[in-house]
Structure 1
């Protein structure tokens, strides 16, 4: 006889819920293609008219993000009281914000870099795909197996 509970269902989120969740946090991870490999950078961002805007300076992140290859940005969160977690991914091309009016508008986002240094380039991700999911975090007692607790040799 098994006392296992059925697996919790993952909820696929619609676009409006994804955007609302993205507006509720300001830190995510930016995935880019650099030469012959993927790379990931933490970013702080703001949502602006169904796009994601972040600041950066000269370097790998800028050259890779503003290149011809689309990027992916992921943000997530968890409610510690309910154990409900969510994750949203935004995919699409990123381009530098240009034009006086657009740059001035972007300053109104109150988007300030966390790290010191010149971060004077605003990049905008214009999504071609936005996906999200929400789920109950599984307590360790439900996924912790006997093999996970087994003793290991020094080489492991």
Structure 2
């Protein structure tokens, strides 16, 4: 039998540190008036989520400065441990040449084929996180 620990609420710095340890998350945005969730590879750059996109609804959300959500986690169902971080903020396309050059140095390479010429940023206006774990039951 396993006793479960309560969820540990993480502060902003802990959330950012955890986001820096993974490379894939999920972007939540609006597509044709409905919520959409897509896995994306990303980098954390200056405390913001940075993603390369080809275009489409993700880029449309960014160019319209819409509020989106981003979620990443690392969970181990066997150990019943892990963490989850959610970011909510405005999406925007990065168009400044100097900033694009700087972001390019962040090793932001798409995992899928095709051209991904646009770079969007999700501002970490609200960031929440939780860590969960399990401890052995006492005898």
Following TM superposition, by how much is the alpha carbon of 1:127 offset from its aligned partner in structure 2, in angstroms? Answer: 1.6
Question: What is the RMSD computed on CA atoms of the aligned residues?
Answer: 2.1
Correspondent of 2:95 among 79, 95, 98: 98
Correspondent of 1:128 among 125, 129, 132: 125
Alignment partner, residue 141 of structure 1: none
- What's the TM-score, normalizing by structure 1? 0.79
Task: Return 5+ residue gaps in structure 1 as ranges.
Answer: 139-156
Q: Which structure has the larger Rg?
A: 1
Aligned residues: 135
Q: Distance in 2 between matches of 1:30 and 1:15?
A: 19
Q: Deviations over 1:1-34 (max 9, x none)?
A: xxx8664200000111100100000100000012
Alignment partner, residue 116 of structure 2: 119
Runs of 4+ in 1 over 3 A off after TM superposition: 4-7, 79-83
Alignment partner, residue 32 of structure 1: 29
**Do the aligned residues in 1 keep the contact of 2:62 with 2:93 (CA within 8 Å)?**
no
Query: Does the C-alpha gap of structure 1 residues 8 and 53 become closer, same or farther in structure 2, counting only changes over 3 Å?
Result: same
Aligned 1:6-155 pairs, distance under 5 A = 7-78=4-75, 82-136=79-133
Query: Does the C-alpha gap of structure 1 residues 41 and 25 become closer, same or farther in structure 2, counting only changes over 3 Å?
Result: same
More displaced stretch, 21-30 vs 97-106: 97-106
Q: Distance in 1 between matches of 2:134 and 2:60?
A: 37
Following TM superposition, by how much is the alpha carbon of 1:51 offset from its aligned partner in structure 2, in angstroms? Answer: 0.6
Higher RCO (Cα < 8 Å, 6 or more apart): 2
- What's the TM-score, normalizing by structure 2? 0.88
